[in-house]
């Protein structure tokens, strides 16, 4: 219908990323104000504010069950949060200052290899694998809803799909004439 259900207000700076939980009951927003917020979609109310990063939150994502959310920040950290309490559960990765992070669940990529994607274990913080294949910078990454595939978008005009278990590229999606900036 195009009807606006709610307008969520509460951040003190721009919202740069957002994500729905798998149940579509919560919306998470990440902001330049260094916080993430959880919003009840039906009521249109703020449920929790996730405080702990010292710089802008540039990416966030729920896990496949919706009980945890991961945030990536320009402070070079990735944090895992409990959705029920709004408390930080684990400071997952403290990256060196010359790296960027993306909060796509269990993922980070490094500016030392901008054409690669680094896969991390969200529980231990250990790097699991490096996904390669793009010829230019990787601009976005996401898991599918089941956590079985990983999609990447690149400035080289292609997208790739990897098997999350084997870490092998299973599809090369080519045909755009310019960069692909987002995948979902």
Tokens 């990416």 — which residue? 59
In this structure, are residues 71 and 78 in contact, taking their beta carbons and an 8 Å threshold?
A: yes
Q: Residue 102's pLDDT is what?
A: 45
- Global confidence as pTM: 0.68
Range 138-148 average pLDDT: 84
Fold of the CATH domain 15-132: Methylamine Dehydrogenase; Chain H (2.130.10)
- Range scoring the smallest mean pLDDT among 8-22, 48-62, 115-129, 131-145: 115-129
Q: Residue ranges of the domains in the chain?
A: 15-132, 133-183
57-62 vs 68-73, strand pairing mode: antiparallel
In degrees, to the nearest 5, what angle opens at C-alpha 181 toward C-alphas 24 and 56? Answer: 70
Say which DSSP state 111 is in: T
In this structure, are residues 30 and 60 in contact, taking their beta carbons and an 8 Å threshold?
A: yes
């Amino acid at each position: 219908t195009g009807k606006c259900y709610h307008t969520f207000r509460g951040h003190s700076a721009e919202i740069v990323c957002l994500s729905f939980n798998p149940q579509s009951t919560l919306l998470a927003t990440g902001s330049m104000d260094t916080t993430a917020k959880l919003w009840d979609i039906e009521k249109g109310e703020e449920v929790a504010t996730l405080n702990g990063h010292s710089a802008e939150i540039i990416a966030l994502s729920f896990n496949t069950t919706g009980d945890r959310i991961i945030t990536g920040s320009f402070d070079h950290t990735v944090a895992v949060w409990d959705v029920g309490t709004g408390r930080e559960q684990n400071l997952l990765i403290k990256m060196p200052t010359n790296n960027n992070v993306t909060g796509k669940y269990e993922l980070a990529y490094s500016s030392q290899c901008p054409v690669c994607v680094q896969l991390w274990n969200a529980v231990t913080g250990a790097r699991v694998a490096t996904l390669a294949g793009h010829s230019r910078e990787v601009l976005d990454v996401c898991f599918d809803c089941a956590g079985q595939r990983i999609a990447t978008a690149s400035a080289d005009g292609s997208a790739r799909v990897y098997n999350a278990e084997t870490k092998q590229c299973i599809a090369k999606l080519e045909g755009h004439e310019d960069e692909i900036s987002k995948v979902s």
